[in-house]
Amino acid sequence: MRIISGKYAKRNLFTLKSNRTRPTSDKVKESLFNSLGQFFQGGNVLDLYAGSGALGIEAVSRGCDHASLVDINHAACTIIKKNVALTKEEQRFNVYNMRSSAALKLFSENDEKFDLVFLDPPYAKEKIAKDMLQMVKSNLLNDHAIMVAETDDHTELGEITGFSLIKEHHLGKTIVRIYRKD
């Protein structure tokens, strides 16, 4: 797995050797970022189930200002920190070893807001809708923020209050849904 484009392009990333994490493949990542737009002009990114940190690092590589990378797994956070170090711009990233619910509470207490959010939790359907609604309730999203939800091809999300589905990609057994905050 590698950074595909931007400032950190072609850097190989470390991944966790575990069946508990499912790194987003380069093919899925490339398709996703092609849909979002090749490059960003600033903004804050949240990857709530970061795994290796690849999506948040890719977003910063392509022009986002800062990424908050959250994972409950300590070993995953160790890998994320190693990958962040490869950028040589560690100040543009924060790594949080905690549950998603605790991270959302912390971000709310600190009045943080995000422009781009990646959600790829284990047990996707229930967590994605719950996390999206919690972010709206806690006022964590800037106007017209983009939420990206990655699930397997058996997971139906349906409509989520406060969001419009703007794109849906079927990539093998993976479905990537892109939502915009209303």
**What is the DSSP code string of 43-84?**
-EEEETT-TTSHHHHHHHHTT-SEEEEEES-HHHHHHHHHHH
- What average pLDDT score do residues 161-182 get? 88
Record the tokens describing residue 132, joined without a space. Answer: 């999206």
In a domain, 13, yes or no: no
In a domain, 18, yes or no: no
The whole model's pTM is what?
0.90
Total count of domains within the chain: 1
In a domain, 9, yes or no: no
pLDDT for res 132? 87
pLDDT for res 154? 78
In a domain, 8, yes or no: no
In a domain, 19, yes or no: no
Averaged pLDDT score across all residues of the chain: 88
What gap in Å lies between CA 111 and CA 54, rounded to an integer?
Answer: 25
In a domain, 83, yes or no: yes
Domain CATH code at residue 127: 3.40.50.150
In a domain, 5, yes or no: no
What is the SS3 assignment for 154? coil
Record the tokens describing residue 99, joined without a space. Answer: 């549950």
- How crowded is the C-beta side of 50, counted as CA atoms within 13 Å? 37
Domain carrying residue 86: 26-181
pLDDT for res 40? 82
pLDDT for res 37? 74
Using alpha carbons, select from 123, 117, 121, 124 the residue that is nearest to residue 162: 117
- What average pLDDT score do residues 2-30 get? 79
In a domain, 120, yes or no: yes
pLDDT category, 106, cuts 50, 70, 90?
Answer: very high
pLDDT for res 55? 93
Res. 43: pLDDT tops 60? yes
pLDDT for res 140? 97
How confident is the model over 107-149, as pLDDT tens digits? 999 999 999 999 988 766 668 888 888 999 999 999 999 999 8
